[in-house]
Structure 1
Amino acid sequence: MKLKELKLKFTETLSEVYPSEEIQSFFFILSEKYLNLARVQITLEADKEIGSTTLKKFETALERLKKQEPIQYIVGDTEFYGLTFKVNKDTLIPRPETEELVEWIIEDSVSEKSNDYSILDIGTGSGCIAISLAKKLSGAAISALDYSYEALKTAEENAKLNNVTVQFFQEDILKTGTLPQQYDVIVSNPPYVRELEKLKMQSNVLDHEPASALFVSNSDPLLFYRTIARLSLRYLKPNGKLYFEINEYLSKELIESLKDEGYPIIKLKKDFRGKDRMLQCRKSK
């Protein structure tokens, strides 16, 4: 089969499931992964013959796409903050708004000259936050925890892939009462999507990404934030900062909760879509 014929097959097979722009994007990603062809080369090499082994890979990917499995899981990796991360069913796919949270922490931390500047990422998943910080803040000691052993294995692979040192450890943040040390920065992108919000979500997320990393109960949607905030008050250094990625619909409630927990200074930031997406809390001296 020629490349142009394969592209046509993709378009025809997926046209009832995805918009044309998304189908084109899928094909470009797979062509780069399986054929090492850049986007412009697909047109230039339209008559390229696809070998049987490679064709099988495309056909397998096509079947998985028909079931609305995320393309990132199909190819096994994704890009975040200019770095490559392995992802799988045990890890969330990193989102672009989380890159903004990483950027905020870097901007606040880059001028720090302390020899023992330390950062903890709670609920690290693929390790995207911790590893990106380690890459950009080479003088900082970065640690990260997650309750999932499988997620931590992926995070460790990603640290090696990106040539950084991160200390990973397994811990259920809802059950622990201690942390290993004091930190200058604690950051978390915890589960924050309420069960009632599932109706607004696409099946590629609902059916394939790990539910435990996404959803919280309608009755207590701030559980992770409250737990992490209380623990952080004990384990942040004086003037230490706590950063959260947040649910856009719960920003006011979360700010009030964090004030009640004892954080006198709270900053709210919107993401590139104009939605309330991240918070910074400063511990008093």
Structure 2
Amino acid sequence: MATVQQTLNDLRKALSAIYPEPEADAMARQVVEHVLQKSRVALSLEREAEVNEAKREVMARLLQRLLQHEPLQYVLGVAHFYGLELQVDERVLIPRPETEELVDLVVKDHRVQQHLHVLDICAGSGCIPLALAANLNTSKVYGLELSEGALEVARANAAKYNLPVEWLHQDVFEDIPGIAPHSLDIITSNPPYVLEQEKEQMRANVLQYEPHLALFVPDEDALKYYKRITDVAAILLKRGGKLYFEINEQYGGGVKELLQKAGFSNIKVVQDLFGKDRIVRALL
């Protein structure tokens, strides 16, 4: 019977055929931690412990999916986001670290305020509204999403943590009933922003598995979501309310300009940890 260390080595070797060595090593460790339900520290202390055949078979099935370039988060069924362990599958975009940076900015801006009213547009797995509901003093949190499949995932994530988010199943390009004008303190959105022309630069595990509805915008109308959400925000935000966007690094200036034209002020383009324009914050 193979030990924990042997199992890790076997997974790492197989994965290194299609992934760089550091990534293959990290993926192998996460698979073993997930299947054995043990922390990294525990596994390091039990490297010579035996792994039974049933567990090895589970890992072998997961490995085959990984070797087809399926993202690790879909294979394991979970993604970690701002202290939450969220269910994810092919109905939703995998939450990114850049989106955690957006959430962190919102939390830092509003941590002392009470009874906040918040709307997240293009909610996907629910990662943004759920993280804000868990970390801010909120009276009302809405998550708007077009995909019913994505909303099923978001509802499951909300139920897991007993977070009272009201989910709105609708298209942002249509009128949004049920939210009074000038009633919101915060609007956030990580809308589709990858250009169609950028597809050829993307890795197979993203392009083949993640929902294109949540990823891509037409090359000829790259700011379509930002234009529409800016218009919505001008109606639904209170005076002094804030709008937060995650953006394509190419369009910080373009998003800032359209916000200025819509009457927003104190507009700031924020760079992510890699030095790329990634978040735009504006005040109504």
Using structure 2 for the length normalisation, give the TM-score.
Answer: 0.93
Structure 1, unaligned runs of 5 or more: none
Paired AA for residue 258 in structure 1: L
For the residues of structure 2 that align with 1:139 and 1:44, how far apart are their CA atoms?
42
- How far residue 241 of structure 1 moved from its aligned partner, in angstroms, is 1.2
Indicate the SS of the match to 2:138: coil
For the residues of structure 2 that align with 1:156 and 1:74, how far apart are their CA atoms?
20
Residue in structure 2 matched with residue 99 of structure 1 by the alignment = 100
Residue in structure 2 matched with residue 196 of structure 1 by the alignment = 197
For the residues of structure 1 that align with 2:170 and 2:95, how far apart are their CA atoms?
21
For the residues of structure 2 that align with 1:179 and 1:263, how far apart are their CA atoms?
24
Residue in structure 1 matched with residue 154 of structure 2 by the alignment = 155
Paired AA for residue 121 in structure 1: D
Paired AA for residue 175 in structure 1: E
- How far residue 43 of structure 1 moved from its aligned partner, in angstroms, is 4.6
For the residues of structure 1 that align with 2:22 and 2:42, how far apart are their CA atoms?
18
Residue in structure 2 matched with residue 2 of structure 1 by the alignment = 2
- How far residue 178 of structure 1 moved from its aligned partner, in angstroms, is 4.7
Matches within 5 A, 1:72-83: 72-83=73-84
Contact 2:231/2:262 (8 A) holds in 1:
yes
1:252 partnered with 2:253: yes
Contact 1:28/1:38 (8 A) holds in 2:
no
Q: In 2 relative to 1, CA 50–173 (structure 1 residues): closer, same or farther, beyond 3 Å?
A: same
Contact 1:31/1:38 (8 A) holds in 2:
no
Aligned residues: 281
Residue in structure 1 matched with residue 140 of structure 2 by the alignment = 141
Matches within 5 A, 1:10-49: 10-49=11-50
- How far residue 245 of structure 1 moved from its aligned partner, in angstroms, is 0.5
1:235 partnered with 2:250: no
- How far residue 9 of structure 1 moved from its aligned partner, in angstroms, is 2.4
Deviations 1:90-123 (A, max 9, x none): 111111111111111112222223x4x3000001
Paired AA for residue 272 in structure 2: D
For the residues of structure 1 that align with 2:72 and 2:154, how far apart are their CA atoms?
19
Residue in structure 2 matched with residue 274 of structure 1 by the alignment = 275
The farther-off stretch of 133-142 and 74-83 is 133-142
Moved segments of 4+, more than 4 Å? none
Indicate the SS of the match to 1:88: coil
- How far residue 11 of structure 1 moved from its aligned partner, in angstroms, is 2.7
Indicate the SS of the match to 1:219: helix
Contact 1:120/1:144 (8 A) holds in 2:
yes
Paired AA for residue 220 in structure 2: S
For the residues of structure 1 that align with 2:36 and 2:126, how far apart are their CA atoms?
28
Matches within 5 A, 1:205-244: 205-244=206-245
The farther-off stretch of 25-34 and 207-216 is 25-34
